[in-house]
Amino acid sequence: MAQRNDKYTYRVTWSEDDAEYVGLCAEFPSLSWLAQSPEAALKGIRKLVGTVIADMQSNEESVPEPIATKHFSGKFMVRVPPDVHRQLAIQAAEAGVSLNRLASAKLSH
């Protein structure tokens, strides 16, 4: 049986300031784990997240839902200045596509 912390979004990157790899978890942005190798950084952050989840559960706190298991509708609102809106509308018209399609294409790059 997989542990609950297996579904979270992890990333390992190099920290020049610390001269070590740092393991991060998107759903727990305040947590990190430093290690000499990327594998150890990943193992450390996963273990730390598991410990934090167990602590939260024992205190009856709500545990963040993994991004991977969330349902996304595909819709969100973005506010832009009116001149940017106008420029995008012109680009969409010139390209012969909807403003929605143009914005989606720009966001997916």
pLDDT at 97 exceeding the cut of 60: yes
Task: Report the SS3 class of residue 45.
Answer: helix
pLDDT in tens, 13-49: 999 999 999 999 999 999 999 999 999 999 999 999 9
Q: Which domains does the chain have, with CATH numbers?
A: 4-68 (3.30.160), 72-107 (no CATH)
pLDDT (tens digit, 9 = 90+) per residue, 62-74? Answer: 999 999 999 999 9
pLDDT of residue 3: 62
pLDDT at 1: 38
Q: Is 32 helix (H, G, I), strand (E, B) or coil?
A: strand
Q: Are 104 and 78 in contact (CB under 8 A)?
A: no
Secondary structure string (H, E, C) spanning 72-94: CCCCCCCCCCHHHHHHHHHHHHH
Q: Does the model's pTM come out above 0.85?
A: no
pLDDT over threshold 80, residue 2: no
